[in-house]
Structure 1
Amino acid sequence: MKMHQRRDVTQATMDHFTPKPFDWCKAATCVHMVRRHVAAMGHSVPPMPRFRSALSAKAALTERGWSNLADMMDATLPRIMPAQVIMGDVVELQSESDVFGALCIALGDGRVMGYSEGNDGLSVMQPFASPIAAWRA
């Protein structure tokens, strides 16, 4: 996919999720954002079960044999080195509040978009720490 197409898909993902506050019940989580984005980037994505809490999200991962979000992403996209990330790729950041980690979408220059603790909606962030994993979308 050409860089301008990656930019357009990434912008469309941002436009769709920016007005949506994080909500387990309303399909507004990092997993929902990444799934929509990856599909728009032209990849085949597995169906997503409905989940309404962290507990049911964890159960959905376990049912598929995944222990965390990185396992889910490894089953969906090719893993790359975090230093190889370009706009539109998926990155995992360390999350302090849960066992899932945090999936975000790379915007370039080290910035990412994603849901973060302490913010009501989707945020553009410059993380303090490097991603712990990355996948080519």
Structure 2
Amino acid sequence: MNTMLKRAAATQACMDRFAGRSYAPGVRDCGKLAAHSLHKLGRKAKLLTASRHTTEAGAVRYIRKAGFKDLVELMDAVLPGARIAPAAALPGDIIAMAMEDGDPFGCSLTVALDNGRILGFKDGVCQVLVPLAFVTAWRV
């Protein structure tokens, strides 16, 4: 299958599973969204799917217990050497968006769509967004 068609199918699968649905830690959160995109593009996401948390505090404990400071470090371990400039992201790539200072996760993971849009959680709902403050991105 053509690479871009595979990426389009992966982002559509993410939209079908997450868009319009409410945030639920451990079920529908940014880590599960990123893991779904990775899976649909044929990559393993064991570090993202291994957590069995039901609260944000549980997710933070998992990240720290696994030996990472935040989600950026965890994603660097999931996709070693795959960091890219956020502006170079293709559909299905993972983009880390900035969070408020002091946020224990360090970022929010989103999935790149097309035309500069992303799929991510805002105001408790997964929705299509226009990104404003990037942290980094990873090529899947």
Aligned alpha-carbon RMSD (Å): 1.6
Question: Residue 112 of structure 1 aligns with which residue?
Answer: 118
Q: Distance in 2 between matches of 1:39 and 1:72?
A: 16
Partner of 1:96: 100
TM-score in terms of structure 2 length: 0.87
Partner AA of 2:42 in structure 1 = G
CA distance in 2, matches of 1:79, 1:64: 20
Note the C-alpha offset of 1:45: 1.7
* Distance in 1 separating the partners of 2:89 and 2:36: 19
Alpha-carbon offset, residue 128 of structure 1: 2.4
Aligned-pair CA distance for 1:99? 2.6
Is the contact between residue 96 and residue 137 of structure 2 (CA under 8 Å) also seen in structure 1? yes
C-alpha distance in 2 between matches for 1:87 and 1:36:
13
Partner of 1:132: 135
| Structure 1 range deviating more: 59-68 or 13-22 | 13-22
Which has the larger helix fraction? 2
Q: Deviations over 1:56-77 (max 9, x none)?
A: 1111001111111111110111
Asked if structure 1 preserves the Cα contact closer than 8 Å seen for 2:20 and 2:127, the reply is no
Aligned equivalent of 2:54, options 52, 63, 72: 52
Q: When the two structures are aligned, how many residues end up with a matched partner?
A: 133
What SS is found at the alignment partner of 2:78?
coil
In structure 2, C-alpha distance between the alignment counterparts of 1:19 and 1:80, rounded to whole Å: 28
Per the TM alignment, residue 19 of structure 1 is displaced from its structure 2 partner at its CA by: 4.4
Identity of aligned residues (%): 29
Q: Counterpart of 1:108 in 2: which secondary structure?
A: coil
Partner of 1:32: 32
